[in-house]
């Protein structure tokens, strides 16, 4: 038996073959978690997840990423400030009504402010880390990723077709754009 907190409910997990039974510790009521797609529910890093087939994810393994390398999304910030401390940069963004995401540029050491549909920016995440970040954010719909030319990760709360053209550029395979598709 294992103990786990799941969506603010403390539960004890009892493994019985391939079925996971959970007992709500507050009410001592057993309940069963299953994956709607027939996959096996597993505990991973303190959360319950369906063990999805390769290249799928989500509560029911109904999500995947559609990649393209024909377009790059490396939007220009609307403001750059001479702030090299990331905590101060985040605070600067929080105090700017237009700012939805900010990050300190690795090259210039400037705090770059971005507005929607950008909701997260990093200049140090690789492709796998950017995808992981998007998976953590329910509002994430599209990501722009740099790989060979330098690491960056832009997370958007809009589908690719709704992102303004000014944020899109035709480029090489050194960059990728991926849209999260959940069916």
d(CA 71, CA 109): 26
User: Is pLDDT larger for residue 45 or for residue 162?
Assistant: 162
The two structure tokens encoding residue 93: 């963004």
- Which letter does DSSP use for residue 53 in this model? P
Q: Which is nearest to 144 in space by CA: 117, 177, 114, 113?
A: 177
Q: Show the tokens assigned to 106.
A: 């690795």
Greatest mean pLDDT range, 3-17, 33-47, 51-65, 159-173: 159-173
Domain positions in the chain are 2-56, 65-182
For CA atoms 31, 33, 38, 44, the dihedral sign is negative
Q: Tokens for 30?
A: 């057993």
Q: pLDDT digit string (tens) for 61-92?
A: 788 899 887 777 888 999 999 999 999 999 99
Strand partners, 120: 155
Q: How far apart are CA 145 and CA 72, in angstroms?
A: 8
End-to-end Cα, the chain, rounded Å? 34
* pLDDT tier, 108 (very low <50, low <70, confident <90, very high otherwise): confident
Contact 82, 88 (CB under 8 A): no
**pLDDT digit string (tens) for 113-122?**
999 999 999 9
Quick one: tokens of 36? 């709607």
The continuous run of DSSP H or E covering 182 comes out as strand 175-182
Residue whose structure tokens are 């969506």: 7
Q: Which CATH superfamily is domain 65-182 in?
A: Hepatocyte Growth Factor (3.50.4.10)
Cα 64 to Cα 183: distance, rounded to the nearest angstrom = 9
CA of residue 19 relative to chain centroid, distance: 29
Q: What is the pLDDT of residue 106?
A: 84
Confidence of residue 19 (pLDDT cuts 50, 70, 90): very low
């Amino acid at each position: 038996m294992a103990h786990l907190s799941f969506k603010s409910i403390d539960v004890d997990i009892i493994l019985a073959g391939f079925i996971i039974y959970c007992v709500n510790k507050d009410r001592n009521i057993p309940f069963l978690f299953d994956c709607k797609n027939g996959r096996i529910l597993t505990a991973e890093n303190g959360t319950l997840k369906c063990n999805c087939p390769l290249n799928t994810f989500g509560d029911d393994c109904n999500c995947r990423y559609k990649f393209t390398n024909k377009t790059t999304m490396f939007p220009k910030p609307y403001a750059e400030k001479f702030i090299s401390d990331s905590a101060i940069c985040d605070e600067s963004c929080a105090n700017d009504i237009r700012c939805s995401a900010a990050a300190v540029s690795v090259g210039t050491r400037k705090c770059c402010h971005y507005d929607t549909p950008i909701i997260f920016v990093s200049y140090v995440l690789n492709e796998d880390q950017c995808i992981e970040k998007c998976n953590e954010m329910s509002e994430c719909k599209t990501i722009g990723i740099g790989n060979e030319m330098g690491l960056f990760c832009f997370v958007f709360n809009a589908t690719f077709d709704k992102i303004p053209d000014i944020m899109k550029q035709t480029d090489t395979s050194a960059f990728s754009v991926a849209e999260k598709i959940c069916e």
